[in-house]
Amino acid sequence: MHGKGLRALSLVTFAALAATFALVFFYAPLDADQGFIQKIFYLHVPVAIVTLVAYVVAAGFAIAHLRTGNRQWDLRSYTTIHIALIFNIVGLVTGSIWAKASWGHWWVWDEPTLVSFLIVFLLFATYQPLRFSIEDPERQARYASVFSIMGGAFVPLNFIAVREATGYVHPRVLASTDGGLPGSMAFVFVIAIISVALLFATIVAYEISSKNTSWQIRALRRRALGDDAVTPLGRTAAPTMGTSLRGAS
C-alpha cells in the first residue's frame, strides 16, 4: 500500500530524463564562449534550484509536524533533507567542474554564489548528527523540526543576500537585465528543471515507502511475538510510526 503510484511516477521520471538528455545533446545549441562544457549548466543549475527549494519544502513539512504531531510529516521532512543533501553534493561537484572549465579553478572563494551554496550544505549536514544525538523519539522529532524550520528560513535569506552582492563572477544566466537565455536554451532548461524535480520526488517517495514498509513489518513481527516493548532509538520502530528514522534506513 505504501508503494502505490510509484511505478507510474518512475516511468514519468524516466521519460522526462530521457527527453532532457536528448534535448541537451541534440537540440540545445552550443554556447559561443564555453562550447560543449556549457551543457553541464542543464544539470548543475536545475540540481541547485531543486536542492534549495527542497530545503524550504522540508521546513514546511516540519511546521506541519509541529502543528499536528503527526510523525509522517516528520518523516517527510527528514527524507527531503536527506535526499537534498545528496543533490547538494551533486550541485557542488558539477559546479566545481564547470568552474574549472570556465575559470581555470576548481573553486573561487570570493564568489558568493559558490560559497553560499557550500554554507547551506554545511548547515544541513549537521541535521542528522544533531537529530540522532537525541535518544527520546518525541524530542528528537520536535527538535529536528525546529532545526528544519530555521534552516529552511535561512535558505531564501541567504539567496537574497547573494543576489544583492555586487562583487562576484558567477554568471546570472537567468537575469532579465542581460537578455536571459535564448529561446531554445530556455526551453531545454525548463524541461531540465522539471526532470530533476521529478527525479527528486521519485527518490523521496521510494525512501518514504521503504521506511513505512519497514516499520509496518517490524510492528507486525513484534505483534506476532507478543512483544509490545520498544527497543532503544535507532534499533527498531514503534508499532505505528517508529522510534527511529535511522533504524529503518
Rounded-to-integer distance, Cα 241 and Cα 151, Å:
24
Is this prediction's pTM over 0.85?
no
Residues recorded for the chain:
249
Mean pLDDT by 10-residue block, N- to C-terminus, for the chain (249 residues)?
Answer: 76 95 88 76 92 96 94 94 96 88 80 85 93 89 94 86 61 51 86 96 92 81 66 37 49
Rounded-to-integer distance, Cα 8 and Cα 25, Å:
26
- Paired with 230 in beta bridges are none
State the amino acid at position 199 in one-letter form.
Answer: L
Rounded-to-integer distance, Cα 98 and Cα 113, Å:
14
DSSP letter string, 173-192: TT-GGGT---HHHHHHHHHH
Q: Pull the grid cell for residue 121.
A: 550544505
pLDDT of residue 59: 96
Cβ atoms 120, 88 nearer than 8 A: yes
Cβ atoms 57, 50 nearer than 8 A: no
Q: Which of 45, 81, 53, 86 lies closest to 193, judged by CA? A: 45
- What 8-state DSSP symbol labels residue 140? H
pLDDT of residue 2: 56
Cβ atoms 120, 154 nearer than 8 A: yes
pLDDT of residue 115: 84
pLDDT of residue 245: 61
